Structure 1
């Protein structure tokens, strides 16, 4: 088994779900994760076809938490993405993505998988935006996805239940392209519970 990956900003080491083309930890709070082409995490709701070869690093956090990162990713092909991932099993997981839409626009996308995947495009992001932050929070048995662009407030994207044993981490995907590199910067962890899931505070 490969050695776990430690990011000083996080209180637990991360294990590999699939081996990335390459990864490196930079300083206290940065991770660079590269993937080959043809990689994805998605189970088609139409026919149940599963793709689960996207590289990811995940770890188990106890209790309530918030994990966030400023994300940057090369969006060369449709559905290239940098992802914050919540992972319980191959049938139970959720992801929050900065992803290239089918039309080539940077888009906030979320997927919750319970046997099969849903797929929700929330909003397009200005291609010039350089400060897009994704966050996963757990409050008891519930999880929340939030996004903040620039100085705007945190915006709620999803509020849902999964499994309280889910691990949290980072994923890169390039299902239709030739590969991409995702950068997760200013990675931050807090054990503080959200005061208000709706406004993200």
Structure 2
């Protein structure tokens, strides 16, 4: 993949201001508000749209990457990358603590949300990068831990003419005090293939 461009934290705009934000060297430390989340209806019957996301433009033909430290302790602590079109149309992908284990997953929302998860216990406390690549009518979500191989997480629909934004997100559905360290936010050209060469 081509080398992406670093996006300075100040270039993004917050969707729902977090409890606290500060820089630590080149990193961004974000403290989530108590019981913040992104979800629409399915299985739970509620709509939550008060999670935190630092967003910039996500045009067709581009890819956005977010790197963060997956250091979570409470149920549903989560962070990663959000792609946003509207309150009813968005994708969040990253790492979430479920049943005491970090899971790599994605929620794709078109009116209502779905949820897919896979356990990644060895990713706890380590740097994780999530990449959203937009081509044609789709977004391809990949993730990796540190310098490990990229894993395909999700292929999801996104209208070619949709105006979208993307960037780092975090939520804390069950507690106050979650702090997430984001270490990188980048944008570059979209991937040219669904399956990357080994």
Q: TM-score interval w.r.t. the shorter chain? A: 0.7 to 0.9
Question: Hey, what's the Cα distance between the residues in 2 that align with 1:200 and 1:186?
Answer: 24
What is the aligned-residue RMSD (CA, Å)? 2.3
Question: Hey, what's the Cα distance between the residues in 2 that align with 1:36 and 1:74?
Answer: 17
Task: Spell out, residue by residue over 1:159-180, the C-alpha distance to the aligned partner (whole angstroms, 9 max, x if none).
Answer: 1112431110121111012231
Match of 2:120 in 1: 124
Selected match of 2:30 from 30, 33, 38: 33
Match of 2:106 in 1: 110
Match of 2:166 in 1: 168
Question: Hey, what's the Cα distance between the residues in 2 that align with 1:198 and 1:138?
Answer: 14
Return the offset for 1:47: 5.9
Match of 1:79 in 2: 76
Return the offset for 1:123: 3.0
Task: Spell out, residue by residue over 1:18-41, the C-alpha distance to the aligned partner (whole angstroms, 9 max, x if none).
Answer: 11111234556x332211221110
Question: Hey, what's the Cα distance between the residues in 2 that align with 1:31 and 1:65?
Answer: 23
- Asked if 2 retains the 8 angstrom alpha-carbon contact of 1:91 and 1:115, the reply is yes
Consecutive unaligned residues in structure 2, runs of 5 or more: none
- Asked if 2 retains the 8 angstrom alpha-carbon contact of 1:142 and 1:160, the reply is yes
Matching of residue 196 in structure 1 with residue 193 in structure 2: yes
- Aligned pair count reads 191
Question: Does the C-alpha gap of structure 1 residues 27 and 64 become closer, same or farther in structure 2, counting only changes over 3 Å?
Answer: farther
Match of 1:134 in 2: 130
Consecutive unaligned residues in structure 1, runs of 5 or more: 1-7
Q: Secondary structure at the match of 2:178?
A: strand
Question: Does the C-alpha gap of structure 1 residues 176 and 45 become closer, same or farther in structure 2, counting only changes over 3 Å?
Answer: same
Return the offset for 1:48: 4.2
- Asked if 2 retains the 8 angstrom alpha-carbon contact of 1:156 and 1:200, the reply is no
Q: Secondary structure at the match of 2:6?
A: coil
Task: Spell out, residue by residue over 1:126-178, the C-alpha distance to the aligned partner (whole angstroms, 9 max, x if none).
Answer: 15562322111111331011011233321110011124311101211110122
Task: Spell out, residue by residue over 1:83-120, the C-alpha distance to the aligned partner (whole angstroms, 9 max, x if none).
Answer: 2000011100000021101x111111200001110010
Selected match of 1:70 from 58, 67, 71: 67
Matching of residue 60 in structure 1 with residue 57 in structure 2: yes
Match of 2:14 in 1: 16
